[in-house]
Structure 1
Amino acid sequence: MAAMLSFSPHLSNTQTPRNDQNPHNFLPYSQHIPPAKTTNRKPTPISCFSNSSESSSKRDDIWEKKKEGFVDYDKGKYRVTTQLSGLGKDDIPKRYRLRVDGDPRQRDWKISEVVERILKLKHWEDIEGVLNRWAGRFARKNFPVLVREITQAGSLEHGVQVFRWMKNQKNYCARNDIYNMMIRLHARHNRVDQARGLFFEMQEWRCKPDAETYNALINAHGRAGQWRWAMNIMDDMLRAAIPPSRSTYNNLINACGSAGHWKEALIVCKKMTDNGVGPDLVTHNIVLSAFKTGAQYSKALSYFELMKGTKIRHDTVTLNIVIHCLVKLGRYEEAVDVFNSMREKRAECRPDIVTFTSIIHAYSVCGQIENCKAVFDVMLAEGFKPNIVTFNALIGAYASHGMHEDALGVFNLLKGSGFRPDVVSYTSLLNAYGRSGRPEKARNIFDMMKRNSWKPNLVSYNALIDAYGSEGLLDEAVQVFREMERDGIQPNIVTICTLLAACGRCDQRVKIETILSAADSRGIKLNTVAYNSAIGSYLSVGEFDKALSLYRCMREKGAKPDSVTFNVLISGSCKMGKYGESLKFLEEMIDLKIPLSKEVYSSAIYAYSKQGQLAEAESIFTMMKSVSCSPDVITYTTMMHAYSAAENWEKAFALFQDMEMNDIQPDSIACSSLMKAFNRGSQPARVLLLAELMREKSIAFNEASIFEMISACSMLRDWRTTIELIEKVEPSFLELSLGLLNQLLHFLGKSGKVESMMKLFFKIVASGVEINFGTYSILLKNLLAAGKWRKYIEVLNWMEDSGIQPSLEMYRKVFSHACKDNSTEYTALIQEKIGVPHRAGIAAQG
C-alpha cells in the first residue's frame, strides 16, 4: 500500500477539504482503508488536509513550504518532497479564471510542480510551453516566488529562460527582489558581465538598486576575482547614498581576500569598523581566509588569538582555517591538538568533513601515512560520508610514498562509493605508480583517464613525465612532453625541472642544453629550482665548466641562489675531486648570509678532510652545533670518515659514542666508517665487537662493513669468524660485488684454507655471479702457494672453458712444478701452451 502524506503545522487531518481545495479529489483517510482480503491492489495515496473557512487567497500558508511523502509499503519505497502551493486558479481574477476553464490544456499546478517540470526539461526545449499552461501565471505574486525557487535550484539556463518569459507577461511588474535573485544566480556561475547587464537593465525598468543589489553585484565580481571592480561598486553604492550593510562589507572583504590581496581586505575591515558596522563571525572567518589565501599563515594565527579576546566565538570553519595554517607552517602536532579538541564530547565546534580531510593531508605531509588511514576510518566510524576531496587526499597520501597498491584500493573504494573519479583522482594514482618505479602502469592510468572523458591537466602530464624520467627513460619523457603540447597544454617551469632532473639521471649532457633551449623558446623563465636542476644535471655528467657557467648566468639574470644551489655545487665539486672549488662556494655562501643546511655542512667537512685540513673540518662541525643545526647521521658519518683518513680512531670512536648519546641511530654506513678507522688504527678486535653491536641493534651489514670485518679477521688470523661470516652472506651473493667475493677467496687462500676457498668458489659460481680474470688469479696464486699444482692446471682448464684466456705467466709458474714431479703429460701440455721446444723442456727437467 502506498500513501501520500502532507505535513503542515497549520493544518488538521481530521476533516475532508472542499473539492476546490482538493484538485486530486482525494477521499478522507478512513475511506482509503482497504478490505480485509484484497489482492493485487494498486498503491493508494493518503493525504491529510485542513478545513478552512477562509478563501485560499487569504490563507497565510500558501507561501509556506510543506513536506509531502509518498510511501509504497508493498515495494518498500518512499519519497519525501517539499511542496510550495502559491496562488492557484481559485485565487486569480475572475476574467482569467474563465479563460483557464475554457482551455482544457490549462493546469492548476503548484509552484513546486511548475519548477519540477521546468527542471526536467533541457534548456533548449519548450519551457515557455510549460509556463503558458500554468494557471498561476495570471497571479503577479507568484512571479518572485517562482524565480526564487528556480534560482535556488541553481540552473542558470532554466532561470534565464523563465525570467525572459516573465518579462513578456502583461501582468509582470519589475521588482528589485527578482533582479537581485537573478544577479546572484549569475554570480554563482561566474557570469559577471551578465550580472552587470542586469544591474543596468533594472534601472531602465525604473527599479532603483538597493543594498541587496549592490551586495549581489559585489559578490559576483568577488567570485570572478575582480576585486577592483568590487571596490568601485562599493564607491558607487556610497555615492547613491545607500548605506553598506555588514553583508556588503563581508562580500567586499571576501572579494579582496580571495584574490590574495589580504592587505586591501584589512583596509576594508578597518573602514567597516570606523563606519560603525561591527564585524561578526563571518567577517572574522573571511579575514582568516584572506590570510590563508595570501600565504600569511603566521598572521592568520595571530589574528585568531586576537579573535579569542572578542565576544564572538569561533566555529568549525574558523578552526578548519587554523588547522590549515598550522599544517602549512609545519606545526603538525598543534594541528592535531586542535583536531582532538574539536572531537571532545563537550566541544562546541564539532569537526566536519573538511576538518578530517585537512588532518589526513597533515599526516600525509609529515610522512605518517598509517595515521592517514586511521583518521579516515575514524571519520567513517563517526558517521561522516567522505567526499571526493577526502578520497583524493588519501590517494595522494599513498601516492607521495609510492604505495600504489594502497592508492589503488582507495581509488576502487571511491568508485564503489558512487563517486566518479576526477582528474585529481587519476593523477594521484598515476603519481603513485610513477613513484613506485612503474612508469608503464602510470601510462595505463593516464590513458584510462582519457578514455573516461577526462582531459589530463598540466599536473597530470608532469607526473607522467616524472614517472618516465625517474626510471631513466628520457626518450619516453620527451615524447610525453611533445604529446602535452599537441594537446594544447603549455609546459611550465615544473615540466622543465622534471626533464632536467631526468637528464642528470640518464647521463644525457646534450639533452640538457636542448631542454634549456626549449624553455627559452617557449618563454619559460628559469627560476631557482630550475637552475638547481640544470646545474645538478651538468655536475652529474661531469660537466663542471658548464655547471659553473650556468651558475654565473643564474646570478646575472637575478635568480637568487639558495642553500640547495650551493649544496649542489659543493657536493658536485667534491664528487669530481674539485675540493678547492667546493670550499670557495662555501665561502661565497657564507658571504651571502645564506643559512647552511645539514647537507652543506656534511659536504664542507668532506672537502676539508680530503684536503687534509682536519682542524677546519672539526671547526665546521663545531660551528654546526653552535648554530642549533643538529648534526644528523650523515654529518657524523662524514666526520668519522675524516678521522679515519687521519688514522685517528680514538676521535672517531668518541664521535660514535656522542652520536648514540644524542639519540641518533647509527646506520650501516656509519658503522663501516668506524670499522675502517679501527682497522687503520690497528684495532681489529674492536671491529668484531662493533659487528656484534650491529647484530644487537639489527643494523644491516653492507659491503663496506663486511669488507672491514674480513680485513679485521685477516689481521687477527681468525678464520673461524670468516667462515661464519661467509655462511651468513651466502644467500646474498648476487647482491655483493665481485671485489668483495674475491676478497673472501683471497683471505681463505692466504689463511691456508684452500679447500674452503674452493668450496666458496663453487658456491659463487652456482649463485650465478660472473667470474672474472681476477677471481681465477686469486685461486691460482693460493693453489700454487699450497703446492696444489695439479689443481692449478685444472683451474686453468676451467678458465679456458669459461672463455677467459690465461696469461703465459700463469703457465710458466706451474711449468717448473710439473717438471720437478716428472709429469711428462702435463709438461708437454704446458709446453704447447707457452710455445717451449721439447728439447728445452728436457733440459729444464735435467
Structure 2
Amino acid sequence: MLGQSLWKTRPALWSFSKFSPIARKEMHYALDQLASSSSDEQEIIGTPNMNHSVNRVFELHRVEVVETLNTLREQPDKALSFFNRLKEDGFSHDVCTYASIIRILCQCCWERKLDSVLLEIIGREKHLGFKVMDLFEILEEGLEGEDSNLLVRLSNALVKAYVSVEMFDEVIDILFQTQRRGFIPHIFSCNFLMNRLICCGKVDMAIAVYQQLKRLGLKANDYTYGIMIKAFCRKGNFEKVVGIFQEMDEARVRPNAVAYTTYIEGLCMHGRTEFGYEVLKAWRESKIPLDDAFAYYVVIKGFCDEMKLEEAADVLFEAELHGIVLDTFPYGALIRGYCKCGNIDRALEVHDEMMSNGIKTNCVILSYILQSLCQMGRDFEAVNQFKKFTNFGIFLDEVCYNVVADALCKAGKVEEAVELLDEMKGKQISPDIINYTTLINGYCLQGGLARNGHARKAIGLLNHAEKQGLQCEIVMRNMIIKGLCIGGKVREAEDFLDSLPDKCFENDAALVDGYIESRLTKKAFKLFLKLANQGFLVRKASCSKLLSSLCKDGENYKALMLLKVMSDLNVEPTKLMYSQLIGAFFKAGNCINAQLLFDQIFARQQTPDLVIYTIMISGYCKMNLLQEALLLFNNMNERGIKPDVITYTVLINSHLKLNLVSLSSPDAPQNKDKKIMDASTFWREMKDKEIEPDVVCYTVLIDYYCRTNNLWDAIRIFDQMIESGLEPDNATYMTLISGYCKRGYLARALNLFEEMYRRGIQPDMRTISTVDHCILNAKRVVRTGGCQNLPDLHYPELLLVFSLKEGQCLKM
C-alpha cells in the first residue's frame, strides 16, 4: 500500500532537525493525506487538500522529495505520478530528484517512460541548472549488486534519446564519457546510432563511430557489420565492403541475408548493375542466403535506372522461372522505366502481366501509366484507362484523379472534370489544392473564361476550396486574373483583384501579365512602375514580355526605363532583353542609343553574347556603316566569341549589296575587285572555320549573282546547296526564278516553279506574280514577232501558275 510506504518515511523526516516545526508538520500532513488516499492515481494526487499540502511541501528541502521517491521504488507508477504532480504544481526538480526517478525507471525497465524523462532533460538542459552527465555521478554513488547494470541502461537510453532528436555530437560525447567510467553502451544502442547516422546522410561519422567502438573493444554482431556494409556501399567504396566481409570471417560472424543483399543493392545504386546481377547469380548457385525477392528487385530497379529495360525484363522473367514470389515493386520499376522512355504500350503489357500473375496494382503504378499516356498526347486513352481501373474497383488516389482531370480539361471537357470532385468525395478522398488548381486552370485554358459562366464557375471553385479549409495558393488567384484578361474580360479581372481581402504583390503581378496578353501595354507598364515604386518587381519573364511588347509598339524609351528600374532594384536584365531593345533602336534608326545600351553591358561587368554582337553588326550594316560593323566583328573575335553562320551572312550580304551599288557608279571598274574580295574573305573564313552555310547564306549569294547577271554562277551555288543536303525555301526559289525571268529563260523558270510546288513549298503571291509577269512579257514578244523560239505557253506548268494565281489547288 502507498500509505504504508509513506508511513515508513516518517522517522527519516524527524532526523532533519534543521527544518522548522511548521515545515515538519506540513510534511507529515502531506504524507498523512497520501497514505489515507485511494491507490488510484487520480485520487492520490487530485484532491484539494492534497494540492494544498503539496504546495506547502515546496517549502521543504529537496531531500524529502528524494526520500519519498526512494520509498516508492517498488511502485514506479506511484513514484512517477508523485514526481510529475510536483512538477505540474511548480516544483523545480534538480539533478537529485531527476536521478531518483531515473533510477526507479531504469530498475523497473520502463523504457518508454525513461525515454520521455530523458528527452525532457535534453530539451530543458539549459534551464535545469545541471548537465546530463551529472546524472551519472549521482547514480554512481551507492551502486551495488543488482544495480551494477543501471548505468549501462541509462547510457543506452541516453543514446536512443539523443539519436531520436538527431543530436549526434552529444551521443558521441556520451560514448567517450561512459568509456572513461569503465563501460560502454550495449551493441544494440551503438547499432541504432550508426544506422541513424547513415539514414541522416552522415555516413563518414557512422564509420568513425564504428572504428572508435572497435578501439574500445566493442564486440560487433552481424547487424553491426551489415550497417558498415551499407555505409561503404553508400560511399561506393566496394573494396572496404569486401574488407568488412573479411572481418566477419575472421571474427567467425556469419553474414546474414541482409548483408549480402545490401552489397548487391550498393552495386546497383552506383551504376554497376550488371556486376551486381552476376554476383546475385553466383551467390544463388553457391546457396548463400539471400533475400531473393529484394535482391532481384534491386537488380531490376538498377537496370531500369540505367534505362536497360530489356535486361530488366529478362531478370524479371528469370525470377519468375525460379519461382521467386515478387511483389509490385519490381513490376512497378519496370513499368516506370517504360513510361519514362515513352514506350507506354510495353508498360501496359507488363502491367497486364502483373495483374494476370495475381499481383495487385496500386495507385502509384497507375499514376505513372496515366501520366505517360497524357504526355504522349493520348489523353482520351488515359481517360478510358482511368474508367477501366475504376470499374475494376482499384483504388485511385488524388494524383490519378488530377491527371485525368487535367486530360479532360485539355480536351475541353471541364464540366466532366469537375464531376470528378464529387466522385472523389464519394470515395472518401479529399480533393487537395492541386485538384482545384487543375480545374480552375481548365476553365482558363484557351481563353475559356471568356465564355459565359466559366468565370463564375472558376471563382466558385476557388471559394469552395477555401470553405473546405484549404489554403488557396496565390497561383490559383493568378490563374483567374490572367484567364479573365486573356478572355477579354479585363474589367472583371480588375474587379476580382480588388475584391480579394488579402491580395498581395503576386496578384498585381498577374494583372501585369494579363495586360500584356491583352495587348494593353500602356496599362501593363503603368502598373509595373507602380509596383516598382513600392519596391516590388515582377518576374523576369514578365519583364521580358513587357519589354518585347514595348519594343513592338515603338515605345523604346519606356523599354529603356524598364531596364533601368530592374537595375535599380538589383535585378540584372537578361541578354535577350538587351538584344531586343538594341534591335528596336536600330529599327528606329537610332544607332546612338543602340551603341550606348551596348556599352552599358560592359559597364555592368558583363560581356555581350554572340546574339547581341550579331544584332549590332546587322544594325550598322543596314545603315551602311560597314566600318563600325567591322570594328565590332573584330572586337568580338578578340574577346573569343566565335561568329556563326548568321554573323557571316550579315557581313557577306552587306558587302555584296555595297558592291552592287559600286557597280552601278561611274568608277565601278576600279572598285569591283576590292569589293568582291571583301565578301569572298568572309566566305573563305567560314570554310576555314568549318562553318557550313545555311539556306539564307546560299540565297544571299544566289541573289547577288542573279543581280550581277552571273546566272550560271547562281545556278552553280543553287546546285551546291542541294548537294550539301539543304532544302531551298520559298525565298531561294523566288530569287532564282526571278533571275531566270529577267534573262528571258521562261522554260527554266516554269520548270523551277513546278519543282518548288512538287517539293511541297507553297509559292507566295510575289513568286506567282513574277512568273505571271514573265509569261505576259513572253506573249507580248510573240505578238510583236520579236522571237520565234519561245517555248509552248500552254503546257501544264502554265496551268499550275494560273490555278495558283486564282487560288485553286490543281494537282499535276
TM-score normalized by the length of structure 1: 0.47
TM-score normalized by the length of structure 2: 0.48
Q: Which has the higher helix share?
A: 2
